[in-house]
């Protein structure tokens, strides 16, 4: 039985599903760019060495490196940066189309309007942050905000998709209202942990602790909260923030806090998954609880794997993606 909805809403359903998948790709491409140390592979914006075509940018860098060896960056680092920009631009265009369709269809009772417009504003802000990430030389606070913006975009797109398909109404048939407080706490610790993860990678602190469960022995003697969580005005003599500017103690502090955040997420989200499975009154929520628990264990395993195997690229990208 089909919903009695307009053609516009049907198209918005399709486009938001595509946008969710595209956002997942953009998040992974952003992680690949960052973890491959290609964030400054293109030092200008929106082009790359003055070119929108990545092939021309590669040719330009190679030709300049022949004339002035060592002056320009590795040509291959232009690829992740520009591919990320291409996909992000496509996502922005898709969200613009959905927002325009929502506004034109705003008089229909079932049409969400505020959420598509919020997404449009968010994706514009993301474009600005993406520009600043490059032009401000990977300033850590900008990098972290850009990462959080990507995760927020994914969350709002999933919410919009759910509203367009009327999933909230369906989920109300399964009474789990008693878990609202715990779910809110879980969301809070996950957001904080994602921010800590973004701050860890933005400050190149991922490999500073190579032992489990917290860090190397004596880590308590190397805690420096003041420098670790200074979000602006870092004093340094480098031309940019690539590979980090913080001293080892500050990086250790950031990494240790991310480890403690992981423990908090494991406890709170794990408890939520368990209670959903035990208390849910319908099959859907029991499976949802299982999915939460499974993804939590996968994310913990990827985090441990990053420590044991010294942050291999594919594992680090997966760890970034499954945080969503």
> What secondary structure letter does DSSP report for 254?
H
Angstrom distance (rounded) from CA 49 to CA 69: 17
pLDDT classification of 235: cutoffs 50, 70, 90:
confident
Residue 186 CB coordination number (10 Å): 22
Instruction: Go through the chain and tell me how many residues it has.
Output: 324
Which tens digit of pLDDT belongs to each residue from 8-56? 899 999 999 999 999 999 999 999 999 898 999 998 999 999 999 999 9
Instruction: Identify the CA nearest to 86 among candidates 117, 111, 60, 52.
Output: 52
pLDDT on residue 1: 43
Question: pLDDT tens, 71-111?
Answer: 667 888 999 999 999 999 999 999 999 999 999 999 988 89
Q: Give yes or no for a contact between 249 and 226, defined as CB atoms under 8 angstroms apart.
A: no
Q: Classify burial at 45, counting beta carbons within 10 Å of its beta carbon; exposed 0-12, middle 13-18, buried 19 or more.
A: middle
* Cα–Cα distance, 300 to 292 (Å, whole number): 12
Give the helix ranges, DSSP H, for 109-247: 114-135, 140-164, 167-171, 180-202, 225-228
Q: Which helix (H) or strand (E) holds 82?
A: helix 78-104
Residues 6+ apart with CB under 8 A from 252: 205, 208, 209, 215, 219, 222, 223, 224
Which residues participate in catalysis according to the annotation?
A: 81
The whole-model pTM stands at: 0.90
The pLDDT assigned to 154 comes to 96
pLDDT in tens, 116-130: 999 999 999 999 999
Q: How confident is the model at residue 70 (pLDDT cuts 50, 70, 90)?
A: low
């Amino acid at each position: 039985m089909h919903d009695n909805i307009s053609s516009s809403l049907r198209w918005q359903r399709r486009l938001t599903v595509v946008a969710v998948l595209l956002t997942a790709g953009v998040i992974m491409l952003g992680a690949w760019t960052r973890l491959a140390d290609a964030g400054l592979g293109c030092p200008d914006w929106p082009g790359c060495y003055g070119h929108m075509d990545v092939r021309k940018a590669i040719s330009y860098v190679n030709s300049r490196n022949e004339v002035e060896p060592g002056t320009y960056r590795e040509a291959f680092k232009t690829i992740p940066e520009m591919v990320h920009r291409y996909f992000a631009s496509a996502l922005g265009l898709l969200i613009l189309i959905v927002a325009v369709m929502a506004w034109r269809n705003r008089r229909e009772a079932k049409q969400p309007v505020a959420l598509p417009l919020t997404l449009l504003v968010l994706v514009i802000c993301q474009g600005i942050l993406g520009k600043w990430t490059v032009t401000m030389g990977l300033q850590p606070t900008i990098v972290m905000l850009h990462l959080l913006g990507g995760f927020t975009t994914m969350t709002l797109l999933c919410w919009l998709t759910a509203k367009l398909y009327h999933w909230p109404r369906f989920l109300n048939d399964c009474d789990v209202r008693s878990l609202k407080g715990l779910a809110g706490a879980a969301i809070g610790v996950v957001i904080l942990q994602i921010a800590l993860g973004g701050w860890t990678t933005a400050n190149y602190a991922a490999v500073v602790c190579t032992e489990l469960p917290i860090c190397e022995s004596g880590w308590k003697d190397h805690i420096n909260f003041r420098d670790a969580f200074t979000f602006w005005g870092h004093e340094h003599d480098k031309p940019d923030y690539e590979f980090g500017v913080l001293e080892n103690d500050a990086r250790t502090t950031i990494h240790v806090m991310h480890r403690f955040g992981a423990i908090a997420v494991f406890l709170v989200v794990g408890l939520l998954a368990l209670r959903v499975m035990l208390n849910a009154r319908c099959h859907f929520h029991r499976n949802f609880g299982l999915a939460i628990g499974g993804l939590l264990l996968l994310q913990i395993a990827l985090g441990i794997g990053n420590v044991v195997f010294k942050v291999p690229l594919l594992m680090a990208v997966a760890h970034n993606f499954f945080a969503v």
